[in-house]
Amino acid sequence: MASYRLIIGIIVGIALSFFTVFFFNMVSIINNIQLFSGGSFIKTISLLIGANFDFDMISFFIESPSIIGFFAPEILAWLLIGYISGSIAKGLRRGTIAGLVVVVIVLLFWIVSSIFSGVDLMALFQAQLIETLGGIISGFSGALIGGLIGGGVSGPYEEF
């Protein structure tokens, strides 16, 4: 009998990625969406997903890092996404896999929705390469740590 805990954990993680940055930084995200979306639904979705990748971990460690600055809303959101999807997937290895797959799928959703909304992706991956890579690295590290913690807390995976 097949277990669908990993798939359900990934789906829940993807669904949470639309809302988790709101939990930690609601006012700033809403103001940015109202300012930049222009009433387009796809542009709003692109901005919602792209808000998860706003924390630049590379620049954070190049500059003088502080412990308070590390608790950015985006890192906390990825920790929560990784924790919840990892605890649903159950098990250390499956929790890690669930957290990392969620980041990859959300990153692909962000790129595809940016293409359909007309965002200049060349600016993201050429002129702002360090900021974009820093946001992607922060997403991977937050979901990895959250998936490890969530998978470890939920106990070992057992097939029934």
Q: Is residue 14 part of a domain?
A: yes
Say how many C-beta atoms besides its own lie within 10 A of residue 87's C-beta: 23
Q: Is residue 85 part of a domain?
A: yes
What pTM did the predictor assign? 0.85
Domain hosting 51: range is 5-63+71-153
Planar angle of CA 91, 72, 116, nearest 5 degrees: 85
Planar angle of CA 6, 11, 17, nearest 5 degrees: 125
Instruction: Tell me what pLDDT residue 52 has.
Output: 84
Q: What's the number of domains the chain is made of?
A: 1
Specify the higher pLDDT residue, 159 or 157: 157
Predicted confidence (pLDDT) per residue in 69-108, tens digit: 777 888 888 999 999 999 999 888 999 999 999 999 999 9
Q: Is residue 159 part of a domain?
A: no
Give the CA diameter of the chain. 52
| pLDDT bracket for residue 26 (50, 70, 90) | low
